[in-house]
A and B are shown apart, each in its own frame.
Chain A
């Protein structure tokens, strides 16, 4: 008999604002994948997406994983953080502190809906946010995909897009002249001076960028388990030194592996890494056993 197929994810808007706040009415776009009837519920996963274009490029992988995890008995909630995707607010409204609140709201909702305290699952910057959230309030586990071990390392490539446009001649310096040096403050300097910065069509506010630049991977307290995966197109790739260092304080509580596949969160075309999905399902099955 063929295994039951989960239904399509349920899309809805989750209220996230705090009454009395300026953005009390804000809502988060959310997708809930529910285990099909007849499948034993194993737990719940809250997915936190990566930053800006990485989120768009990795939507397919997140959807594939969510669907597969639901078929295996996990409730999965994917959210768009405030000011991103289909959640309320523009990107200029996105604040690091609001994102932390969004996570709290989503965790509470999912715990209620599934009957299980959720694992926190994140990709790239989402993984860093997951780790911070778990350090503040314990989660049964962390599932980290290609984690950013510092917010600065996730922010730098984005800030660099302005320079990138100049390198290929489509930025302000287009016309063959060398880009202006020194005269203009760098995007980071502008943010530190309290100004928003326009990059690649995104309006980035200091209330998002500056706390993000300070954020570092925080090991969660016992007994939170940590499963971390990196993906590499190279044969025989080893775990990045940055991730090894970040996980070292966790000892036996952390397991990490490198899987073969494309850098789907940044690749030019929408790519998938089936090995990552298989490894994630295997790790979740072991965790639930």
Chain B
């Protein structure tokens, strides 16, 4: 069964939330990592309930609500979310309490809000949705797992529509630990995408899609398929898997108009990104992590970007990686990996 994106919303480090502009300008962060431009949450969440909510919950609720409003729907038939690290702020808060208060007299709020499915539970509460509600947490494949489950659910007609999201947050403390752990750069760089140093530039975001099986005039794009390749021997084998994936979907590499590449600034990851980009030298190639940073569910933003380009038949200069142009975008591919494993391809069409 075909699956269409009826609406999408993204709270990100760029002007994307309910924005009239489609990444026309690139906002540079003032820190060494990317943080979201937060909307006025009071307009979307009851100020009383909002008081104790961490950013990730506010982002999730607001992006979800906006996505549903854009789709003209009160409730989805299911809610499926991916998050690599879950609620980092509340996890850190409670952990620090456990340590510094010697396991005594602890406030439960941070603990309650630290569970990975807090966002999906809160969204269900907000929308009054009593249907299927899952949260996947498989590192950089969290969003892909959620998307796969959503597509299978729709195919089985277990739900008429699914609200699918990818959400992760960053806080100063988690950034410092990522730097110490060797996965993030200690300093922002001018040209992230061509960086020769190890480590990504981290970011955060909340991106939601309302998916269903009818094509409407306002549908942004069709999601054709998701391919996950967890382990492979190298670029050659990956290209073979990619070809097989495209053939299964009735096309070849030549049919791809747009490649959205997940280049993240980590020098060690660049070879695989370049290798796949070279397969699509004839396509328009875009990148986005120099605008929103790297985080486990960044590919949700990549999908948002791809669907936006396909819908508008327009590529913003801020994200264009090669010099190619196209009048019309029929087929787009979002490619991501993490440390030369956990490769994913999301195929979209107009």
* A and B part of one assembly: no
Which A residues fall within an 8 A CB radius of B? none
Q: Give me the interface of B with A, judged by CB distance under 8 Å.
A: none
